[in-house]
C-alpha cells in the first residue's frame, strides 16, 4: 500500500524518487526532522529535488563535489513558503538518517519518517514551515500512533557528533506548541 500525502496535506505535491526501498517488518514509530539547503544557505534552488531524485549535477557548484554518487532521500521537504513536497511514500524506507540509533535501536530509517526543512542549522525557519510541519506531524501521528511527542527528534539526536540538524535555528517549543495545542 502506497501511503502518500493525498488526503494528509493540502497544497502538497509529489516528486517520486528512486532512493528508497521496502521497510523491514517494523512499525513506523519515529519522526526525524532534518534541514537542507543546496548550496548551503541558498533557498529556492532546484538542487534539493535533483539530489533526492538522483540527478544532481555535481559540477553545478563546488560544494556539490562531496555529493557525487550519494543516494539520499527524505519522505518530505517543506520549503521556505511552507509548501510540502513528498519524495517517498510513508510506508517505504527513505534513506535520510544514515548511521543512526534511537533508544538502543540502530538503523532509524527502518522505523522512521524523515522530514526535511529547507534551511540551515543556524538560520531561523519561517512561520509557514512551522505551520506546515505541525499540520503534517499531526496527520502522521494519526496514521502512525506510535509516533508520540517523545518520539519526534532531530537528526542530531539520532546521529550525535555526525549531524547537527535541524540546528539551533529550530524552535522546538514553538513547533510543539503548534502541534500539540
Which residues, 6+ apart, have CB-to-CB distance to 93 below 8 Å? 20, 21, 22, 23, 24, 109, 110
Query: Is the predicted pLDDT of residue 9 greater than 90, yes or no?
Result: no
Region 46-62 average pLDDT: 97
The number of residues making up the chain comes to 181
Query: Is the predicted pLDDT of residue 16 greater than 70, yes or no?
Result: yes
- The reply to whether 106 belongs to the active site is no
Nearest in space to 115 (alpha carbons), one of 37, 31, 49: 31
Whole-number pLDDT of residue 1: 44
User: Coil, helix or strand for 102?
Assistant: strand
Query: For the whole model, what pTM was predicted?
Result: 0.95
Region 44-68 average pLDDT: 97
- Catalytic-labelled residue, pool 22, 27, 40, 116: 116
Whole-number pLDDT of residue 161: 94
- State the cell numbers at 93: 524506507
Amino acid at each position: 500500500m502506497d501511503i502518500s500525502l493525498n488526503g494528509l496535506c493540502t497544497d502538497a505535491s509529489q516528486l517520486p524518487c528512486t532512493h528508497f526501498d521496502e521497510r523491514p517488518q517494523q512499525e513506523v514509530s519515529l519522526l526525524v526532522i532534518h534541514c537542507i539547503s543546496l548550496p548551503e544557505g541558498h533557498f529556492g534552488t532546484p538542487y534539493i529535488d535533483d539530489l533526492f531524485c538522483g540527478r544532481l549535477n555535481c559540477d553545478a557548484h563546488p560544494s556539490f563535489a562531496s555529493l557525487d554518487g550519494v543516494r539520499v532521500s527524505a519522505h518530505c521537504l517543506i520549503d521556505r513558503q511552507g509548501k510540502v513536497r513528498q519524495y517517498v511514500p510513508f510506508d517505504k524506507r527513505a534513506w535520510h538518517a544514515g548511521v543512526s540509533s534511537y533508544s538502543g535501536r540502530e538503523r532509524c530509517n527502518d522505523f522512521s519518517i524523515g522530514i526535511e526543512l529547507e534551511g540551515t542549522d543556524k538560520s531561523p525557519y519561517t512561520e509557514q514551515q512551522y505551520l506546515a510541519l505541525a499540520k503534517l506531524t499531526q496527520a502522521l501521528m494519526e496514521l502512525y500512533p506510535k509516533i508520540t511527542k517523545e518520539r519526534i527528534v532531530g537528526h542530531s539526536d539520532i546521529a550525535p557528533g555526525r549531524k547537527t540538524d535541524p540546528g539551533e535555528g529550530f524552535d522546538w517549543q514553538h513547533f510543539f506548541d503548534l502541534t500539540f495545542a
